[in-house]
Structure 1
Amino acid sequence: MSTTTPHGTPHTLRTVTGPLAVEAVQGPVLSHEHLVLDLDKKGDRAAVLEAGTHGAAVTAELAALREEFGLSVVIELTCRGMGRDAGALRRISREANVAVVAATGWYYEPFHPHDLDGAGVEQLTETLVREIDGGIGATGITPGVLGEVGSHGDTPSEPETRALRAAARAAVTTGLSVSTHAQLGHGGPAQLALLTGEGLPPHRIAIGHQDLLDDPAVHRDLAAAGAYVAFDTVGKESYQSDDVRLRLLLALIEAGHADRALLSCDISRHGYLATEGGQGYGHLLRSFLPKVRAAGVDEDLIDLMTRRNPLRFLTGASVEEI
C-alpha cells in the first residue's frame, strides 16, 4: 500500500538524482553526513572532503556499505558556506548507487558567508525558497532538507537567530524539514523554541549532536515535544565515547522515545575516512549497532531508528505511514 501525504500524493524524497519514493528505501539511512565540504579556517586542509582528492574514497565507502548493509540513503547536510558541491554529490550518488539528499541553509556563525550580512529574515527566507524551488546554482539539483542550520551556546546569536527563523519559514513554505547543528549538543531547547515559534511543527525538526550532551533529561524533553533527537556523531571518540552515546541512547529508548532517535556519524574531515585510518561512514553499522543489539535492542527498533525515523523526518509522515 502506498504511503501518502494528507493530500493523497505518495511520500517522496528529493534526492540529487531526482524523486525517490519512500517505499523504495529498504535499507538504512545515514541521517547526518558530509560527502564534500570545506570547513578549513586555518589553512591546514584537515577539515575538508574535496571532490577531486577524496571523492573516489567517499564513493568506494558508500558503495561498500550498500553491498554489505544495504545502505540506501545519505542525508548530506553540507549547506551554504560549508563548501557545498551539488554536482559532486550527484556524481558520488550515481557511482555508489546510494541516494543522496542535499541541503540548504546556513551553518553556525563562525562559518556564515557574507550573504547573511545585514539581510533580514524575509530576504533570507526568499533566498532559501528560491534555491529549494529552482535548484542549487546551475545544477538544477533541488535540496531535500534544510540543514545543518546552526548555533553555538545555550542561545543562538543574532545572526544565527535570523538563519534559524529563515530556515523555519522556508520549511513551512516548501514542506521540507530542518536539521540543526547544536554546537557540542548545547542550545537544542532554544533552537526548538525558535523553529516552532515560526510555525514549523516539531516533527519536522531534528536537533543535532545530542550525543555530545550528557543530559538525558534534555533528550527526553526534546523528544516529548515531538522533535527528533539526533545522535549523529557516532564514532567521534575525541568528542564523546561511544559507551556514553550508548548509555544516552538506551535511556532515550527506555523513556519510550525510540521513534524520535536519529543515528549517524557526521564524517566531516578526510582523516575520518576509512582509507585514512578513520572510523569511516560505516562505523555506525559495523561497530555501534552491534553494541546496541548486544544491549537488548531488537531489530524492529534498529530499523525504526536507522530507516523509518529518518524517512519520517524528511517527509513528515507518521509512525503508522512508514
Structure 2
Amino acid sequence: MHTSTLHTVTGPLSYEAVRGPVLAHEHLVLDLDLKGDGGAVLDAERHGPAVTAELADLREKFDLSLVIDLTCRGMGRDPRALAAVAREAGVAVVAATGWYYEPFHTPELASMSVEELAGSLVREIEGGFDADGIRPGVLGEVGSHGDVPSAPETRSLRAAARAAVATSLSVATHAQLGRGGLAQLELLTAEGLPAHRVSIGHQDLLDDPAVHKELAGRGAYVAFDTVGKESYQSDDTRLRLLLALLEAGHADRALLSCDISRHGYLVSEGGQGYGHLFRSFLPRLRAAGVDDDLIDLMTRRNPLRFLTGASTEEI
C-alpha cells in the first residue's frame, strides 16, 4: 500500500509537486547535549535563522525541495519551529516520530509494552503533535547501537514497525556507526513492515559493501546520510562504497544526505552545511561517471518512493 500525499509540517503535499532534490536525513532543530557542552544542539532561536538561510540558498541554487527531519522523541524535537523554517525558507519539511537509540530514550520505553508504544505513535501520527495539527510524515530516526539492538531498542523498533504498518508510513533507522542494520531490518520486517518501507541509516560509516548489497537485495533503502562528516569517515570512502552499491545494480535503493546535527556544522560557523552534498559530493559522483538521471534517482525519486511506498515505475 502506498500514498501519493506527503505529510509535511505545513500541510499535505503531493509527491508530484516535489520537482527538485530531497535531503533524506537531516536535523533542523535538535538537542542531543548529553555532555552539557552545547555542541550537539541546533536551537530554534539561536541557530534557526542560519538554518533557514542555508535552506533558502539551497532552494535558490540547487532547487532543494524537501527536507526529511528525523528528529524524534528525546532529541529536542520542535514541530512548530520546523514549520517556521519551512515557511521562511520555502522548502517543504517532513517531521518524524519514534525513539532514537537507548541513551536518549524517554521514560515510556521502560514502562510500556510494544503494543502500548505503538499505540502512542499511531495517536501522534493520526492526531498530530499538538493542537496545531502538525503531523509526522515518517518514523525515525529509530535507533540502536551495536550489532544487536538492546531490549529497549528492540521494543522501540517493533513499536515503530507496527505503527508504520497501521498508518502506511515508513521507518528510517539510526544504526550507530553503521552497525546492526541487518538486525534492525529483521526486527522491522518480522512485524509485517515491507522492506521497501525501511531505510537503514548511516551505512556510509560501515566499510562493508557486502552488508550494503544484502540490505538493498532484501529491498531496504541504504542511507549514505552522513556525507561530509569527515571526522567519522572520509568522503573518499563514502564515494567508493556508494559506487560499489551502484555497480551492483542497487542505485534504486540509495539515499543521500548530510545529517547536520551540531551547530558547528553550519556554514555560518565554518562547517560543511546542508549543501555539502550538492556542492562537493555530487560533483565527485558525476566525475566518477554517474549521470544526471541516477543523481535524480538517488536525490529525488528514491526518497519520495521511500516516504510513499511507491514503486520504481510509479515515481
Structures share fold, TM-score greater than 0.5: yes
Q: Which residue matches 1:84?
A: 77
What CA deviation, in whole Å up to 9, does each residue of 1:68-95 have, x standing for no partner?
A: 0000000000000000000000000000
1:100 aligns with 2:93: yes
Query: Partners in 1 of 2:184 and 2:208 — Cα distance?
Result: 16
1:75 aligns with 2:60: no
CA deviations on 1:43-71 (whole Å, 9 max, x unpaired) are 11100000000000000000000000000
Matches of 2:304 and 2:96, distance apart in 1: 15
> Secondary structure in 1 aligned to 2:12?
strand
Equivalent residue for 1:280, pick from 258, 273, 277: 273
Aligned-partner Cα distance in 1 for 2:218–2:58: 34
SS in 2 for 1:44: coil
Q: Trace 1:170-185 onto structure 2 (pairs within 5 A).
A: 170-185=163-178
Letter in 2 for 1:233: T
Which of 303, 307, 311 in structure 2 is aligned with 1:314? 307
Among 34, 41, 56, the alignment partner of 2:34 is 41
Establish whether residue 124 from structure 1 lines up as the match of residue 117 from structure 2: yes
Is the 1:204–1:316 contact (alpha carbons within 8 Å) kept by the matching residues of 2? yes
Amino acid at match of 1:273: L
- The equivalent of 2:9 in structure 1 is 16
Shift of residue 115 of structure 1? Answer: 1.9
1:150 maps to 143
Letter in 1 for 2:90: N
CA distance in 1, matches of 2:309, 2:34: 36
CA distance in structure 2 between the partners assigned to 1:138 and 1:83 by the alignment: 18
The reply on whether 1:194 has 2:195 as its aligned counterpart is no
2: CA distance, partners of 1:217 / 1:244: 15
Counterpart in the other structure of 1:204: 197
What residue number does 2:209 align with? Answer: 216
Asked if the contact 1:90/1:100 (under 8 Å) is kept, the reply is yes
Overall identity of the aligned pairs, in % = 78
In the alignment, the residues of structure 2 paired with residue 276 and residue 202 of structure 1 have an alpha-carbon distance, to the nearest angstrom, of: 38
DSSP-derived class of the 1:117 partner: helix
Q: Distance in 2 between matches of 1:78 and 1:114?
A: 17
Paired letter, 1:160: E
CA drift of 1:118 comes to: 1.8
Extract structure 1 runs of 4+ deviating beyond 2 A.
Answer: none
How far is 1:137 from its partner?
Answer: 2.5
SS in 2 for 1:314: helix
Does the Cα contact within 8 Å between 1:86 and 1:139 map onto a contact in 2? Answer: no
Deviation per CA, 1:184-207: give whole Å up to 9, x if none: 000000000000000000000000
Q: Distance in 1 between matches of 2:162 and 2:47?
A: 35
Is 1:139 equivalent to 2:132 in the alignment? yes
Aligned residue identity for 1:96: A
Q: Distance in 1 between matches of 2:130 and 2:205?
A: 34
Amino acid at match of 2:89: A
Distance 1:115 1:56 in 2: 33
Alpha-carbon distance in structure 2 between the residues aligned to 1:295 and 1:61: 27
Match of 1:229 among 222, 231, 245: 222
Tell me the distance in 2 between the aligned counterparts of 1:125 and 1:23: 30
Helix, strand or coil at the partner of 2:132 = coil
Q: Per-residue displacement from partner, 1:143-201 (whole Å, max 9, x unpaired)?
A: 00000000000000000000000000000000000000000000000000000000000
SS of corresponding position for 2:124: helix
- How far residue 139 of structure 1 moved from its aligned partner, in angstroms, is 2.7
- Give me the TM-score of the superposition, normalised by structure 1: 0.97
Indicate the residue corresponding to 2:249 in structure 1.
256
The 2-side partners of 1:89 and 1:194 are apart by 30
* TM-score, reference length from structure 2: 0.99
- Alpha-carbon distance, 1:42 to partner: 1.3
* Pair 1:114 & 2:107 matched: yes
1:12 shift after superposition: 1.2
Where in structure 2 are there 5+ consecutive unaligned residues? none
Q: Which among 293, 296, 302 is matched to residue 303 of structure 1?
A: 296
Please report how far the alpha carbon of residue 138 of structure 1 lies from its aligned counterpart in structure 2 after TM superposition.
2.9
Q: CA deviation at 1:221?
A: 0.2
